[in-house]
Chain A
């Protein structure tokens, strides 16, 4: 399986394991950094790397999961992705996979140079949304849709292999802008404002940066929009709303 498919399985497993969004995000960043770092001549098993990154992220984020549970969920999710119903029943196979993950973890740690601190954009997003919704008036429906969509966009953005190249506050602003556009919401008085809401919330952001991030996000959707599978993704509800 390619890295693209593995990241799909990774996210679905996160959902199944009820992990915090920050853990999804860290796991995805480790995964993308790993593949950017490694030379393309070596074919790593993307699913093994993804499961390992998830295990590592759960430790780093103190969102601890049982390795047995992780392997079982990842295994069945992966097979579901391939259109098979299969659960991990053989003890032998489980022990083998566990050994692989434990070993692979050391490889991943070395590849990442033990740099495991990645600040997550979620608190920026929450803060920006709170500031912005104060401007948007009292329509609860609009506000909840905006918040729901931007959170989903943020999550999906981490499918992009380039996700960690952007500043986290920029990502947060860009997903809000995209959610505003999708819902055709206008920030009141923004057209006449000397400082637009984007710069008011985040000083060093530019239109170009926002545009690049949105394009990257759209690329994610182009890749993952296979309508048969789309229904399960976060993005489904987003397009549904716009």
Chain B
């Protein structure tokens, strides 16, 4: 093994990986722990794309394994309801160390669901909500049947094109999982806190597809409440909010929960009744919708329905039937992204306004992200 020479590395040609300068950046549309996202235009074809910068966080270990996972997964997943990776580009390396920056190039989507929901002028009819949920579950069904977990479901990661096609995005936390291997230990430090399911909060390391369906339930409720339904400040607080909505977490409703690492360590509220339908009735008038929400927001992950089953739910097969979003969206001709929208105010719904419980960590304004690998 010898050292790779880096003299003149900026002159090197990489015929198999195009220079990102073939795209012209138009605007920054996202920023988070994952890095920056830009809207850009192909200089020749004029095609609009989204460029996501690969964050070389731990350069010493080489190309980040999280980015490799995302690329590998995106190359595998090709579906109408999953964001499409076009290619990977790089910059001409002009930094003295001679290292290039890489960008993932995606088909551009005009909106994200968090952005749409934060705009009061955007109104979803029941049929349109059904269409959103149907596409969301279709996407989840597809990725789960390919043995991929998304692990970061939240409204900001659900993109919607101007013609109303929903795309699951941001596979930065996603990974492959297996059903056979019962010994697998994944990190439970995934999923933005407000969308994190009870099993992860209690320290489960061998989880599966139900973690994404909990998130889908939170997102579905948000279609009516217009802001995240359980905005906890800490993991403990999040579990309290969950208990107030879904009833106390106990072995009677969730056999085996007592074996989870944190079950005995955390102070869980006791004797609370399940009030999912009751509490959401104030926002959601449709009975089928309430029933579907009840099935998604099930405490015991083994009893939470899977995407396939839920797609057969009466909600999707009763009047009004799912309606295309294209027409409604055509009234709005500016892009709506959470990043560009004014911050959504917490505590705008009764469930989030809980009596304060002693010392609490300050809310991270929805950007709460754990990335420990």
Chain A residues within CB distance 8 Å of chain B: 37, 45, 47-48, 51, 55-56, 59-60, 62, 64, 67, 74-75, 78, 96-107, 109-117
Contact = CB atoms under 8 A, between A and B. Distances in A.
B65 to A, nearest CB: 5
Contacts of A100: 1-4
Contacts of A107: 4
24 contacts: A45-B1, A48-B2, A55-B62, A59-B68, A60-B68, A62-B175, A62-B176, A97-B1, A102-B59, A103-B6, A103-B98, A103-B99, A106-B99, A106-B100, A109-B17, A110-B17, A111-B16, A113-B16, A113-B17, A113-B88, A115-B75, A116-B68, A116-B75, A117-B75
Nearest to B93: A106
Contacts of B14: 110
A78 B1 contact: yes
A56 to B, nearest CB: 8
A59 B65 contact: yes
Contacts of A115: 75
Nearest to B61: A67
Nearest to A101: B62
B62 A105 contact: yes
A67 B59 CA distance: 13
B283 interface: no
Given A110-B17, A111-B16, A117-B76, A102 B62 contact: yes
A226 to B, nearest CB: 23
A51 B1 CA distance: 8
Contacts of A116: 68, 71-72, 75
B1 A47 contact: yes
Nearest to A96: B3
B356 interface: no
A158 to B, nearest CB: 20
A140 B98 CA distance: 58
B60 interface: yes
B63 interface: yes
Given A74-B1, A78-B1, 11 more contacts: A48-B1, A59-B68, A62-B176, A100-B4, A103-B98, A105-B63, A106-B99, A110-B16, A113-B17, A114-B17, A117-B72
Contacts of A47: 1
Nearest to B3: A100
Contacts of A37: 16
A45 B5 CA distance: 11
A179 B1 CA distance: 36
A7 to B, nearest CB: 15
A98 B3 CA distance: 9
Contacts of B6: 103
A65 to B, nearest CB: 11
